[in-house]
Amino acid sequence: LFKFSRPLRAEPSLAGAMKTIEVDGIKVRIQIWDTAGQESYQTITKQYYRRAQGIFLHIMKWVSDVDEYAAEGVQKILIGNKADEEQKRQVGREQGQQLAKEYGMDFYETSACTNLNIKESFTRLTELVLQAHRKELDGLRICASNELALAELEEEEPKPEGPANSSKTCWC
Ligand SMILES: Nc1nc2c(ncn2[C@@H]2O[C@H](COP(=O)(O)OP(=O)(O)OP(=O)(O)O)[C@@H](O)[C@H]2O)c(=O)[nH]1
């Protein structure tokens, strides 16, 4: 479950950004969408956000929305951003870890300003998605290796010489 900050967007005008990362030797092109927080949750005031309890309620709602509307097997991780602003911390690291654990999610504290855990969190989520699609991936790998083996076989097979390159005109 991602809530992205502006520095991660390729362009502020774009709804989604594309990025290619490598996981387990597989190049994965990921598309990142930024949910418009305040548009969906207009009834929750900014003051409410400041309280950890409010933040937790908010996360519970996101999790249940994702579970309800996303495809089956959707992968989620929990991220607490602005880790560089330690003096303004609203939620303890352990509280975040605890909540993530309750939902069976990995937990990362990130900073879009200092780049803390940005790559790690994207890579972890991509890993989880790949793991969830292991069967399809294995299928793709088998197809690719079969094609490779076929190509190698074709290369090895001696090609009959054409009449232009040979003085022989028949196989007897
Ligand atoms: N210090 C610090 N500031 C950040 C970080 N990430 C984002 N910001 C700042 O926080 C402010 C809000 O960032 P946004 O990207 O608009 O946050 P948002 O969650 O997408 O907000 P909505 O558009 O309301 O959903 C901006 O001024 C960002 O520069 C961070 O990791 N550290």
Residue 125 has a CB neighbour count (10 Å cut-off) of 23
* ipTM for this prediction: 0.94
For ligand 1, atom 2: residue with the closest CA = 82
pTM of the model: 0.71
What sections of the chain are H helices per DSSP?
37-40, 46-50, 52-69, 93-102, 118-132, 134-156
Cα 112 to ligand 1 centre (Å):
8
Give the pLDDT of the chain (172 residues) as one tens digit per residue.
333 334 444 333 335 688 899 988 888 888 887 766 555 554 444 454 455 677 788 898 889 988 899 888 899 999 999 999 999 998 999 999 999 999 999 999 999 999 999 999 999 999 999 999 888 778 777 777 787 777 877 777 665 655 555 454 544 4
Residue with tokens 């519970």: 60
The closest-lying atom of ligand 1 relative to the alpha carbon of residue 6 is 15
CA 137 to chain centre: 15
